Amino acid sequence: MERDATILVTGGTGLVGSAIVRILRAKGYSNVLAPARGMLDLMNVQAVREYFAAQRPAYAVLAAARVGGIAANMAHPAEFLHQNIVMQENVMWAAHQQGVRKLMFLGSNCIYPRECPQPMREEYIMTGPVEPTNEAYAIAKIAGVKLAEKIYEQYGTPFISCLPCNIYGDRDHFETERGHVIPGMLRRMHDAKRSGAPEFVIWGTGTPRREFMHADDLAEGVEFLMRVYTENRFVNIGSGEDITVGELAALIKEIVGYKGKLVFDTSKPDGMPRKLLEVSRIRALGWAPRVSLRDGIERVYRWFLENQ
């Protein structure tokens, strides 16, 4: 990827996209385009085609999507399926038609089967049904990964995908409905500390294991793959380490300085017992994340305090 090439990043206002834009610019890429939704609505196929025709990006990264936690996915499955399919289709096809030389599609670890053997290897995709609570989102993401693969297979243009683990970072959604685990817990624990609440309730038993990576590491990984990766096989990208929800809550308690007691509401569902990506493919290419979970969460909490 030449430093002066035009690189389009969709979703540049989001958690992942904003990190990708920042890291690309920090690495000296001088022509990174990141149109916000108000400037380019990716649901509008005509607008997307005209944008590609006018800007002629040489490279593209698709970090725009309709994203949300369990509650949002369960409340709006039709929109999650429809909007993600349409956005990725609009962008990938316009990119293909306008001669984009390489494209990265951001998939998600939720496309693996619910009963997937752990850690989850790339070849386990589509070997069983996905988790029902995010089925619509997962089906859209599988379609996106497959569209990239088929364009690469049929036309020889490297449209590739990576599948990240749970990502956290500065511009996360700290409000509850859209919130992911780390920002949701940080926010609620911060509120519990301020109100002097004696107890902090966590859904489930606290035993499920989850894998997290800072958005800056994902952005570094995306830039790395855009430079070096040429195979038509999607790649897992994660920290390769997991932690129980209970351990995560204890770590956040320490970082926030909350003095109350952690209580597990075992009447609530746990979700999948484990969700860990097998990351040997990207490790073999010579890439590994750098931000430790403690450092990363401390950074996010500082950002939250300064920007809430």
Least distance from ligand NAP to the Cβ atom of residue 266, Å: 25
Q: Residue 41, interface with ligand NAP (CB under 6 A)?
A: yes
Taking the C-alpha atoms of residue 113 and residue 101, their distance in angstroms, rounded to an integer, is 32
Question: Which residues are paired to 209 by β-bridges?
Answer: 244, 274
- Piece of the chain touching ligand NAP by CB under 6 A; list 12-20, 188-196, 246-254, 261-269: 12-20
Sheet order of strands, 7-10 included:
32-33, 7-10, 59-62, 102-106, 159-164, 235-237
Shortest separation between residue 96's beta carbon and ligand NAP, angstroms: 18
Q: Which three-class secondary structure state does DSSP give residue 48?
A: helix
Output the six-digit token pair for 37.
């939704």
- Does the annotation mark 152 as catalytic? no
Written as six digits, the tokens of 241 are: 């380490």
16 touches ligand NAP by CB under 6 A? yes
Q: Is residue 185 a contact point for ligand NAP (CB under 6 A)?
A: no
CB of 278 to ligand NAP, least distance (A): 16
For the bound state, the minimum distance from the C-beta of residue 164 to ligand NAP, rounded and expressed in Å, comes to 4
Residues that bind ligand NAP (rule: CB under 6 A) add up to a total of 22
Greatest alpha-carbon pair distance for the chain in Å reads 61
The active-site residue out of 51, 59, 137, 301 is: 137
Q: Which residue type is seen at 167?
A: I
The residue (of 73 and 258) whose beta carbon lies closer to ligand NAP is 73
* 38 class by beta-carbon count within 10 Å (0-12 exposed, 13-18 middle, 19+ buried): exposed
By CB under 6 A, which span of 36-44, 71-79, 201-209, 246-254 interacts with ligand NAP?
36-44
Question: Which of 7, 14, 170, 301: binder of ligand NAP (CB under 6 A)?
Answer: 14
